[in-house]
């Protein structure tokens, strides 16, 4: 075989490899999306009539919501402060210090509070949930449940699913309030805007309940994505301790990507 | 004293103690990483391998998320600008200024913290659980030199590179949204009149700080793993949360300092 022919073959192989990689990537995404869809179907099927293990729901709600409060508080206070620090030069340039409440308010309520809360909760609650479910799968506890004729979906998955959605909704409410509090303090310290005139920026008609509702609506949708991703990857864990690590990694990545992609479409739809 | 305040005091005290301890250990990991960057052994190809792991494999993820962030930002701020200003001529310039100074670095690093941080903690955590780290110590190799240092160097370089790329993606996608949704011509949108050297320096300082924080924090979380597979899960969770928190807190301080050093 001539050198040119060998080179040609090598090039063909490289193209084939590349096509194979792309195809495998697409198949992988399709598999995950399909798995989540099937899981969502199973969860919804158990909601009518609701077959939930209420003690498990309460335990999960405590673990997910109450234990996440410190992180949400710190994140929200700092985020509110950063919003004002970033808005300060723009507001000063326009000579409209009175508008800083509005500027920090709409970004916080509509985008930043739901987004950052979702990212933090996804790191804490979603990842933790995957790790827990993954450990159960790896140590065959789910098979044990099935042997005892206990439905793992209504006993384990449904309480976690509902827990994550409710947690994210409530934490977004907290984050809204706390971020605005942090922003008020920073505006006073940095721009010498009195808290009352900061507050006036909210109530003077530029912002409405629609902005809060917009953010809360988003948080519910993010919650569904996060809950589905974390339960799906947890249930699909295989391969011991490294497998659990991989599953957690996959959950975090899928939730973050899902949250940002959906954020765009939801913003667009809600206007 | 009645039992409730006492219990509260106990809880707060215990929390404060464990936080201080964690902070001290984190500091020690950071200092030792810096020490090994200068005096450590040089392993051929280790940094490049980590650069591939951290950088190239986050490329698609970061491109997609930053693209969507860019669309959201321009769309939302366009809607809001419409309410108070008659025209959009400053939208692109302000957006570019914000991207350079803050958003590209902070949001990009938050994305990287989830992917890279979780990856580092899961990998090192599994090594701890399967006693490979103890084997390293037995062979007189400090796991910080061997495991964290290459990730530290790779992360600083790749975070900076990815953030610049992410900012570019967010800006160009934002320009497209501005053109199609609000009829802003790309030439008006792509204006650099508001970006000065202070913004650029702030943005780059943030890149380096976040790039250094992610591997140190998540490496520390990975090394302090205990227990079996559940421990690995815990370590990964903690890595994601702590590195995201580290980014938000660092952002607060760097932004504040920048406001004082480069007043507008």
Please report whether residue A44 resides in a domain.
no
Please report whether residue A1 resides in a domain.
no
Q: What is the pLDDT of residue A2?
A: 66
Please report whether residue B158 resides in a domain.
yes
Look at B122 and A246 and tell me if their CB atoms are within 8 Å: yes
**Chain A residues near residue B69 by CB distance under 8 angstroms:** 260
Instruction: Indicate the pLDDT class of residue A47, thresholds 50, 70 and 90.
Output: confident
Please report whether residue B10 resides in a domain.
no
Q: In this predicted model, what pLDDT tens digit does every residue of A226-270 receive, in sequence order? A: 999 999 999 988 887 778 888 888 888 889 888 988 888 888 887
**Chain A residues near residue B232 by CB distance under 8 angstroms:** 131, 241-242, 244-245, 248
Please report whether residue A134 resides in a domain.
yes
Contact B162, B55 (CB under 8 A): yes
Q: DSSP string covering B177-211, please?
A: HHHHHH---HHHHS--TT--HHHHHHHHHHHHHHH
Please report whether residue B24 resides in a domain.
no
User: Does the structure show a pLDDT above 80 at A91?
Assistant: no
Q: What is the pLDDT of residue B92?
A: 85
Q: Which two tokens stand for residue B131?
A: 């006693």
Q: Which residue has the higher pLDDT, A156 or B263?
A: A156
Name every residue whose Cβ is closer than 8 Å to that of residue A253 and which is 6 or more positions away in sequence. B61, B114, B115, B118
Instruction: Indicate the pLDDT class of residue B218, thresholds 50, 70 and 90.
Output: very high
User: Does the structure show a pLDDT above 90 at B220?
Assistant: yes
Instruction: Indicate the pLDDT class of residue B193, thresholds 50, 70 and 90.
Output: confident
CA closest to B194 among chain A residues:
A90
- A93 contacts chain B (CB < 8 A): yes
Q: What is the pLDDT of residue B31?
A: 92
Name which of B75, B125, B229 is nearest A268 (Cβ-Cβ): B75
Name which of B114, B126, B234 is nearest A256 (Cβ-Cβ): B114
Please report whether residue A155 resides in a domain.
yes
Average per-residue pLDDT for chain A: 86
Cβ-based neighbour number of residue B194 at 10 Å: 20
Contact A87, A100 (CB under 8 A): yes
Name which of B69, B102, B240 is nearest A123 (Cβ-Cβ): B240
Average per-residue pLDDT for chain B: 88
Please report whether residue B20 resides in a domain.
no
- A82 contacts chain B (CB < 8 A): yes
Q: What is the Cβ-side half-sphere exposure of residue B67, based on CA atoms within 13 angstroms?
A: 11
Number of residues that make up chain B? 264
**Chain B residues near residue A263 by CB distance under 8 angstroms:** 68, 72
Residue with tokens 């310290």: A189
For residue A183, give its domain range.
Answer: 52-270
Mean pLDDT of B221-249: 87
3-state secondary structure of A162: helix
**Chain B residues near residue A111 by CB distance under 8 angstroms:** 72, 76
Look at A263 and B237 and tell me if their CB atoms are within 8 Å: no
Instruction: Indicate the pLDDT class of residue B140, thresholds 50, 70 and 90.
Output: confident
Mean pLDDT of B115-136: 90
- Alpha-helical regions (H) of chain A: 3-45, 54-64, 69-94, 100-106, 113-121, 127-138, 141-147, 152, 158-191, 195-203, 209-235, 240-270
Closest approach of chain B CAs to the CA of A45, in angstroms?
29
User: Does the structure show a pLDDT above 80 at A201?
Assistant: no
Mean pLDDT of B35-61: 87
Instruction: Indicate the pLDDT class of residue B215, thresholds 50, 70 and 90.
Output: very high
Instruction: Indicate the pLDDT class of residue B264, thresholds 50, 70 and 90.
Output: low
**Chain B residues near residue A130 by CB distance under 8 angstroms:** 233
Strand segments, DSSP code E, in chain A are none
Closest approach of chain A CAs to the CA of B44, in angstroms?
26
Please report whether residue B31 resides in a domain.
no
CA B157, CA A212: separation in Å to the nearest integer?
Answer: 39
Please report whether residue A251 resides in a domain.
yes
Q: In this predicted model, what pLDDT tens digit does every residue of B7-26 receive, in sequence order? A: 888 888 888 898 899 889 98
Q: What is the pLDDT of residue B2?
A: 67
For residue B185, give its domain range.
Answer: 44-261
Name which of A106, A245, A267 is nearest B125 (Cβ-Cβ): A245
CA A18, CA B16: separation in Å to the nearest integer?
Answer: 52
Please state the domain count of chain A. Answer: 1
Contact A247, A237 (CB under 8 A): yes
Name which of B68, B244, B252 is nearest A82 (Cβ-Cβ): B252
Please state the domain count of chain B. Answer: 1
Please report whether residue B15 resides in a domain.
no
């Amino acid at each position: 075989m001539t050198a040119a022919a060998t080179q040609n073959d090598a090039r063909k192989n490289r193209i084939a490899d590349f096509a194979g990689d792309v195809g495998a990537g697409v198949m992988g995404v399709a598999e995950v999306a399909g798995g989540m869809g099937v899981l969502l179907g199973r969860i919804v099927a158990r909601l009518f009539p609701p077959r939930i293990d209420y003690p498990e729901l309460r335990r999960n709600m405590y673990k997910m919501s109450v234990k996440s409060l410190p992180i949400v508080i710190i994140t929200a206070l700092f985020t509110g402060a950063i919003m004002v620090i970033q808005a300060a030069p723009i507001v000063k340039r326009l000579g409209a210090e009175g508008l800083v409440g509005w500027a920090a308010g709409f970004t916080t309520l509509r985008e930043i509070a739901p987004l950052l809360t979702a990212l933090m909760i996804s790191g804490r609650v979603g990842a933790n949930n995957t790790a827990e479910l993954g450990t159960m799968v790896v140590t065959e506890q789910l098979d044990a449940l099935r042997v005892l004729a206990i439905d793992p979906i209504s006993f384990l998955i449904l309480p976690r699913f509902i827990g994550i959605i409710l947690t994210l909704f409530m934490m977004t409410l907290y984050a809204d309030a706390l971020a605005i509090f942090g922003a008020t303090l920073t505006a006073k310290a940095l721009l010498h805007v009195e808290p009352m005139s900061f507050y006036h920026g909210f109530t003077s008609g530029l912002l409405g309940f629609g902005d809060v509702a917009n953010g809360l609506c988003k948080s519910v949708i993010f919650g569904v994505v996060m809950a589905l991703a974390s339960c799906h990857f947890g249930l699909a864990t295989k391969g011991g301790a490294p497998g659990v690590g991989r599953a957690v990694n996959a959950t975090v990545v899928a939730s973050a990507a899902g949250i940002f992609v959906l954020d765009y479409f939801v913003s667009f739809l809600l206007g | 004293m009645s039992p409730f305040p006492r219990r509260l005091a106990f809880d707060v005290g215990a929390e404060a103690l464990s936080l201080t301890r964690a902070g001290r250990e984190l500091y020690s990991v950071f200092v030792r990483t810096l020490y090994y960057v200068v005096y450590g052994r040089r392993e051929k190809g280790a940094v490049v391998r980590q650069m591939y792991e951290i950088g190239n494999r986050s490329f698609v993820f970061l491109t997609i998320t930053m693209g969507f962030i860019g669309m959201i930002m321009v769309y939302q701020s366009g809607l809001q600008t419409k309410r108070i200003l008659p025209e959009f001529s400053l939208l692109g310039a302000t957006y570019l200024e914000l991207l350079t100074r803050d958003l590209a670095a902070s949001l990009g690093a938050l994305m990287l913290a989830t992917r890279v941080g979780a990856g580092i903690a899961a990998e090192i955590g599994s090594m701890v659980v399967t006693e490979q780290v103890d084997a390293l110590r037995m062979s007189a190799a400090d796991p910080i030199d061997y495991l964290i240092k290459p990730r530290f160097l790779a992360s600083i370089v790749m975070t900076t590179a990815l953030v610049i790329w992410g900012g570019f993606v967010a800006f160009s996608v934002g320009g497209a949204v501005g053109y199609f949704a609000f009829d802003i011509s790309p030439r008006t949108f792509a204006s650099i009149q508001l970006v000065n050297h202070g913004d650029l320096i702030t943005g780059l300082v943030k890149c380096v700080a976040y790039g250094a924080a992610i591997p140190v924090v998540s490496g520390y979380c990975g090394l302090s793993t205990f227990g079996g597979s559940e421990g690995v899960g815990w370590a990964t969770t903690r890595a994601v949360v702590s590195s995201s928190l580290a980014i938000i807190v660092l952002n607060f301080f760097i932004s504040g300092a920048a406001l004082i050093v480069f007043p507008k």
